[in-house]
Amino acid sequence: MKKVITYGTFDLLHYGHINLLKRAKALGDYLIVGLSTNEFNKEKGKACYFSYEERKSLLESIRYVDLVIPERSWEQKIDDIKEYKVDVFVIGDDWKGKFDYLKDYCEVIYLSRTPEISTTKIKKELSFGKMAVVK
């Protein structure tokens, strides 16, 4: 069985997240998602709308996701890869090069993001009071 792992905050879940998870799962048989805890997000300077448990529940309901584990620090990735016997590490290409050190432990793949959507864009538009227009 080929195991794939990815990490993220996955706040305000949107179709860009689903696209990334679908493509990650297609690289193997079993997809593990390291989900940033509320505490780790605070360390990164991020504030989430949904709690860790709510975000975890959303991810667990997605058919591409087989297991959700807590991401508590940047440093845990090597331990996770070893513990779960991961074959492929996947992350968005906005991180290109940042996780190349993991190539000593597994294959590293940077996937392109869905260009027209992001959690940051949603938060900005909501803060400016913009509404989506349905055509």
Each residue's pLDDT tens digit, 9-37: 998 787 788 999 999 999 999 999 999 99
Residue 134 has pLDDT above 80, yes or no: no
Q: Is 4 helix (H, G, I), strand (E, B) or coil?
A: strand
Q: What pTM value is reported for the model?
A: 0.85
Contact 38, 48 (CB under 8 A): yes
Strands (E), the chain: 3-8, 30-36, 67-71, 88-92, 107-111
Q: Tell me the catalytic residues.
A: 44, 46
Each residue's pLDDT tens digit, 64-89: 999 999 999 999 999 999 999 999 99
